[in-house]
Structure 1
Amino acid sequence: MSLIEIERREAGAATIAIVRFNNPPKGYMNAAMVGELDAAVDGLLGDESVRVLVFTGALKGVFIEHYDVSELLALSEKLRAKGASFSLDRLSPESGYHRILARLEAAPKPVIAAINGTAMGGGFEFCMACDIRLAERGPYWLGQPEINIGILAGAGGTQRLARLVGEARALELSLMGRTVSPDEAASLGMVHAAVDGPVLDHALTMARRLAAQPPRAVAHIKRLVRSAAETPLSQGLAQERTLFMDLAVSDDGHRLMGEFVAGTRTIRD
């Protein structure tokens, strides 16, 4: 059984890739799934016909429950037997999962999380690496409860959550190990919206719109916005005006601005 299922849907001249996480019965992320996900992400990001990636769960009510704790416990036992210790003086290297999340953030293509159920721990860390997060309303739980089993969110949870909801709220959620409903997640800014199901329909409506946008403009905007928090303002402004000019002379930019001036296109959606 494949743990990662890929479906391609045509959207005009472009393709939308739907990637489903399928690991019954509990919907855990584990090392085998990470391996399949790595290959899937590589292939889809390298396919120029694919304009948008949409990730969702194949199991009813589950996006990714969380990372498989039995694997983490086995790793703990192995390292403890070796007498391993860790310090900020010697940083731990990235794992395959860390690299996947970083690639999705840096990718020139939009990435949507269609959260069809519970997404905790490593599951919600995946969601936070996506550009757009839509959560289906229901008895589902989102967030970073790792402290409740003695660890912390180790795949970007502390860093990305603070950037989404602010330091104070991220501390409260992470220190209390509190998970939230889709509606509360939307009110806090953890997801863009809570929607009545099925969430995939909402995600595909957005994906079709994104797939129709000029891909060069999409890539430039994503790059600038994604790097804004870590880039000095003067440098970010210089990059912005440079990429603005690059789009102004591009085929799509020249054509679409011409249509607007001719009165055959509106600038509003």
Structure 2
Amino acid sequence: MTTTTERERTLVNYSVSDGVAIIELTNPPANTYSYEMMRQLDEAILQARFDESVHVLVLRGAGERFFCAGADISMLNSVSPTYKYYFCLHANETLLRLEQTPKLVIAALNGHTVGGGLEIALACDIRIARRNAGKIGLPEVSLGVLPGTGGTQRLARALPKNKAIELMTEGKLISFEEAQELGLVNYIYESENYWEQVIAYAKRFCPPNSASRTVGRIKRAVQSGAEVALAEGLALERELQQLCFQSEDAKEGLAAYIEKRQEKHFTGR
């Protein structure tokens, strides 16, 4: 249960730099989350959504050892089953909001990414790990519970079902390199200048380098379209394409192609 002291703590740091919203989970030593942290994460996601100067979101964990080790087990052990249910429900709603936000979301896996930490990362669009920085997996079965913040659903959508079941029922923790081979991790960056490399990658999707709203609409088409029948997915794609056609960035991109210009100046509008 959330205490007065916890309500007063900052558990999620939020800042914006050059079009990138940086959301940092901060609860040492393992950046475990409580209901209050999820409330603050939810607020940060909404703040980034409504901020027109934000084009990309980057999530990371404070420190170098953990991205996030999941839910605070001591908290879960002390609260009622009803509280646990609503805690999981709100966490699910928060990660759905993150997943459905029409802006690219990058998870910077700077350390161990296990349990609910991986469930948060699975709700992001791109996952970039730091080499030799930790393990990744959903070991909840060892506690007698299942991955209850979207893990059973998102992992089974990210991997073949048999592989997802294997990882969850065996509670396997694997290296970032193994995760990349499975497709769970997009990139692995060297530890030296890791964060600078992540931010440089994120800025590739910000104006003037990229048509950021189009990037967000591609994400929306994939995330929402994957959950409906093909005909409905195609209808969503057409509507989003029409919004792109009406944008200043589409005019700029098409004109640059016709004029054989390599340089494009996108505005995110």
- Shared fold, TM over 0.5: yes
1:181 aligns with 2:178: no
1:230 aligns with 2:227: yes
Q: Which residue of 1 aligns with 2:160?
A: 166
Q: CA deviation at 1:7?
A: 2.7
CA distance, structure 1, for counterparts of residue 142 and residue 61 of structure 2: 24
Give the secondary structure class of the aligned counterpart of 2:172: coil
Do 1:115 and 1:199's aligned partners in 2 also have CA atoms closer than 8 Å?
A: no
Query: Which amino acid in structure 2 is aligned with residue 228 of structure 1?
Result: G
Q: CA deviation at 1:94?
A: 6.0
Q: Which residue of 1 aligns with 2:194?
A: 199
Q: What is the TM-score of this pair, normalised by structure 2?
A: 0.87
Q: 1:24 to 1:209 in 2, by over 3 A?
A: same
1:42 aligns with 2:46: yes
Do 1:44 and 1:50's aligned partners in 2 also have CA atoms closer than 8 Å?
A: yes
Q: Which residue of 1 aligns with 2:3?
A: none
Do 1:61 and 1:116's aligned partners in 2 also have CA atoms closer than 8 Å?
A: yes
CA distance, structure 2, for counterparts of residue 5 and residue 242 of structure 1: 35
Q: Which residue of 1 aligns with 2:236?
A: 239
Q: Which residue of 1 aligns with 2:4?
A: none
Q: CA deviation at 1:55?
A: 0.7
Do 1:118 and 1:140's aligned partners in 2 also have CA atoms closer than 8 Å?
A: yes
Structure 1, residues 7-54: CA drift from partner, whole Å, max 9, x if none?
Answer: 3212xxxx2111111111332112231222222222122111111110
Do 2:140 and 2:146's aligned partners in 1 also have CA atoms closer than 8 Å?
A: yes
One of 251, 256, 260 as aligned partner of 1:263: 260
Which ranges of structure 2 fall in alignment gaps of 5 or more residues?
1-8, 265-269
One of 206, 229, 247 as aligned partner of 1:211: 206
Q: How many residues align?
A: 252
Structure 1, residues 94-115: CA drift from partner, whole Å, max 9, x if none?
Answer: 6222111001111011110000
Write out aligned runs for 1:148-163 (5 A).
Answer: 148-163=142-157
Do 2:99 and 2:223's aligned partners in 1 also have CA atoms closer than 8 Å?
A: yes
CA distance, structure 2, for counterparts of residue 104 and residue 27 of structure 1: 18
RMSD: 2.2
Give the secondary structure class of the aligned counterpart of 1:96: helix
1:251 aligns with 2:223: no
CA distance, structure 1, for counterparts of residue 238 and residue 155 of structure 2: 30
Query: Which amino acid in structure 1 is aligned with residue 199 of structure 2?
Result: L
CA distance, structure 2, for counterparts of residue 207 and residue 254 of structure 1: 24
Query: Which amino acid in structure 2 is aligned with residue 41 of structure 1?
Result: I
Which ranges of structure 1 fall in alignment gaps of 5 or more residues?
85-90
Moved more, 206-215 or 164-173: 206-215
Q: Which residue of 2 aligns with 1:23?
A: 27
Structure 1, residues 226-253: CA drift from partner, whole Å, max 9, x if none?
Answer: 1232221122223323332332232221
CA distance, structure 1, for counterparts of residue 51 and residue 248 of structure 2: 21
Q: 1:235 to 1:32 in 2, by over 3 A?
A: closer
Do 1:6 and 1:18's aligned partners in 2 also have CA atoms closer than 8 Å?
A: yes
Give the secondary structure class of the aligned counterpart of 1:230: coil
Do 2:141 and 2:169's aligned partners in 1 also have CA atoms closer than 8 Å?
A: yes
Give the secondary structure class of the aligned counterpart of 2:174: coil
CA distance, structure 1, for counterparts of residue 160 and residue 46 of structure 2: 32
Moved more, 1-10 or 201-210: 1-10
Structure 1, residues 57-96: CA drift from partner, whole Å, max 9, x if none?
Answer: 1122210122111111123xx33xxxx7xxxxxx979622
Moved more, 144-153 or 1-10: 1-10
Q: Which residue of 1 aligns with 2:16?
A: 8
Q: Which residue of 2 aligns with 1:111?
A: 105
